[in-house]
Amino acid sequence: MRLRIHRKRPEPWAIRREKLKTTWTMPLWALEWFWEWTAYVLSNWSFLEVLEYLSSFGVLIAVVFYFAESGDRIKQKHYQAWQVINTAQGKGGNGGRIDALQELNADGIALVGVDLSGAFLQGIHLQNAHLSRANLSAADLRDSDLVSADISVANLRSVNCRQCTLRNTDLQHADLTDADFVGADLAGADISGATLANIDLSNANLANLKWRDKPNLKNANLFGVKNAPEGFLAYALQHGAVQDTAGSQE
């Protein structure tokens, strides 16, 4: 059962104002008129209706505060992700770094210069990541997705990138000495000026590979490479590359 208290409808302000005898009392009369109208409106609502409106208003306020504080929550999330990465710096294993790195990259945060040496990051997804000057030496990146990532001038010595997808990845002037890129997809990647001494590129896909600044390919294993750009194999073999079947074995 809904309880309603019916009140008489207040008169319009224009009529109330005509009754004023002195102008200095107008603010008091206006306040009284406002509260009469407030009481009149509320008297036509049941208690449950008032609660319903207050509940809706509370939800609206909560939504407003949620979005107002979203920036702080994102900053806190990024801070915690960096804590995970920095705490695990120089250590082997995952240490939560895969999720932290993917989260930061998804939010467009640059990972320039990050130290991931020796990290276990197998299967990580870092498309379009900004990893310039990062330290990925001896990291395990097998089966990872690094499509269109910027890994220029990075340290990838002894990195394990077997079966990695590195399409259109920027590897300019990176150090890939002793790296394992067996079966990697390097279609459209740029290795201009990079050091690939002793790298194993067995069965890698080199379609549309860019190599304007001639890379260092001394002792690089090119056994079974696919879709090598015109002139690349001849140049590589003339500058110390080899085609060794042993390097292609698991």
- Is it the case that residue 60 has pLDDT exceeding 70? no
For residues 117-132, average pLDDT: 96
Residue type, 66: Y
Please state the pTM of the whole predicted model: 0.71
Which is nearest to 166 in space by CA: 138, 201, 217?
Answer: 201
Is residue 232's pLDDT more than 60? yes
156 vs 8, residue with greater confidence:
156
CA dist., res. 12 & res. 32, Å (int): 13
| Burial zone of 70 (CB within 10 Å; 0-12 exposed, 13-18 middle, 19+ buried) | exposed
The Cα–Cα gap between 209 and 189 comes to 5
Q: What's the pLDDT score for residue 1?
A: 43
Among all chains, which residue has been given the structure tokens 């990291």? 139
Sign for the pseudo-dihedral over CA of 73, 74, 80, 83: negative
Q: How confident is the model at residue 66 (pLDDT cuts 50, 70, 90)?
A: low
Lowest mean pLDDT among 69-83, 102-116, 231-245: 69-83
Burial of 122 (0-12, 13-18, 19+ CB in 10 A): middle
Q: How would DSSP label each residue in 54-80?
A: HHHHHHHHHHHHHHHTHHHHHHHHHHH
- Taking the C-alpha atoms of residue 137 and residue 179, their distance in angstroms, rounded to an integer, is 9
Burial class (CB in 10 A: 0-12, 13-18, 19+), 249: exposed
Whether the per-residue pLDDT at 112 is higher than 90: the answer is: yes
What integer best gives the mean pLDDT of the chain? 85
Give how far the C-alpha of residue 72 lies from the chain's centroid of Cα atoms, to the nearest Å.
Answer: 16
Contact 208, 188 (CB under 8 A): yes
Q: How far is CA 197 from CA 13, 55, 146, 240, 249, in A?
A: 90, 68, 21, 9, 19
Question: Tens digit of pLDDT for each residue in 12-48?
Answer: 877 777 776 666 667 776 777 777 777 666 666 555 5
The SS3 of residue 160 is strand
Please say if the pLDDT value at position 3 is more than 50.
no
pLDDT-derived band at 11 (thresholds 50, 70, 90) equals: confident
- The pLDDT-based confidence of 94 (bands split at 50, 70, 90) is confident
Q: Is the pLDDT of residue 187 over 80?
A: yes
